Amino acid sequence: MDRLKGKVALISGGARGQGATEARLFVREGAKVVVGDVLDEQARQLAREISGQGDARAVAVHLDVTRAADWRAAVDTCIREFGGLDILVNNAGIFNMSGLEDTSEELWDSIVNINQKGVWLGMKTAVPAMRQRGSGSIVNISSVAGLTGSTGSTAYHGTKGAVRLLSKAAAVQYAAENIRVNSVHPGLIATQMIDIIPPEQRQAFHAVVPMRREGRPEEVANVVLFLASDDSSYVTGAEFVVDGGLNAV
């Protein structure tokens, strides 16, 4: 408990799935959390639920990660409501299984804008606020799809691979300012995102994973918590795989 005491976190795509699990865990660990998402009602509900009685511990903001103005408003909310910003989890993302030739230009642009440009915009907007605090931790959610290829999901692979190196580039750039940047690479995690995978394909996947199952959002959130907290004070530019051994095969 209290591993994030006194810290303020902004979580993009925080209304549901892994982001919501991280928001709950962060508040339990003493942080104040700003939940940013395009799912406004779900984000508000979650913030109400985890805020508890008395002092607000979480608030929701409308955040479309492709929009610079939304990012500025989200960071301003962190400062206005909770006095600053210490932690950014760039968690928002969309998934698609289309292969290279089946990917339309429109689909490509939307995946790149959300999964890749959104991460850059988030870091760009958060860093000045972290500099004011004298330190910060940025956790960028990539994927095992950012480490290896597969027979489909071309744009998703491209963007998640970009997040991996964006994280290392930012880590090197800001290390001297004590702003750490790391990437997390989940395998298949049981959230609504993977409902688009046909059941038989999901089943077949279990056989390939050394641990023979999908991950739970909590299992990713615990790694994100470590990176967000001062427990990882000498960790930057690193990649953390949370995949039941898949990437080791």
Return the active site residues: 156
Distances (CA, A) of 59 to 4, 34, 38, 247: 17, 5, 14, 36
Does the footprint of ligand NAD cover residue 162 (CB under 6 A)? Answer: no
When binding is defined by CB under 6 A, the residue of 8, 13, 162, 219 that contacts ligand NAD is 13
Least distance between ligand NAD and beta carbon 53 (Å):
26
Least distance between ligand NAD and beta carbon 144 (Å):
6
Select 55 or 213, whichever has its Cβ closest to ligand NAD: 213
Site for ligand NAD in 131-150 (CB under 6 A): 141, 143
Please, is 14 exposed, middle or buried when counting C-beta atoms within 10 Å of its C-beta (0-12, 13-18, 19+)?
buried
Find the part of the chain contacting ligand NAD (CB under 6 A) among 1-9, 76-84, 190-198, 201-209. 190-198
Least distance between ligand NAD and beta carbon 55 (Å):
25
When binding is defined by CB under 6 A, the residue of 194, 209, 235, 238 that contacts ligand NAD is 194
One-letter amino acid at 160 equals K
Does the footprint of ligand NAD cover residue 171 (CB under 6 A)? Answer: no
Select 27 or 163, whichever has its Cβ closest to ligand NAD: 163
Count CB neighbours of 29 within 10 A. Answer: 17
| Whole-angstrom distance, CA of residue 223 vs CA of residue 240 | 8
When binding is defined by CB under 6 A, the residue of 4, 7, 9, 16 that contacts ligand NAD is 16
Q: Structure tokens of 1?
A: 């408990």
When binding is defined by CB under 6 A, the residue of 191, 229, 232, 236 that contacts ligand NAD is 191
Does the footprint of ligand NAD cover residue 38 (CB under 6 A)? Answer: yes
When binding is defined by CB under 6 A, the residue of 46, 78, 127, 189 that contacts ligand NAD is 189
Least distance between ligand NAD and beta carbon 64 (Å):
4
Kindly list the residues in this chain that would bind ligand NAD in the complex (CB under 6 A): 12-13, 15-19, 37-39, 63-66, 91-95, 114, 141, 143, 186, 188-189, 191-194
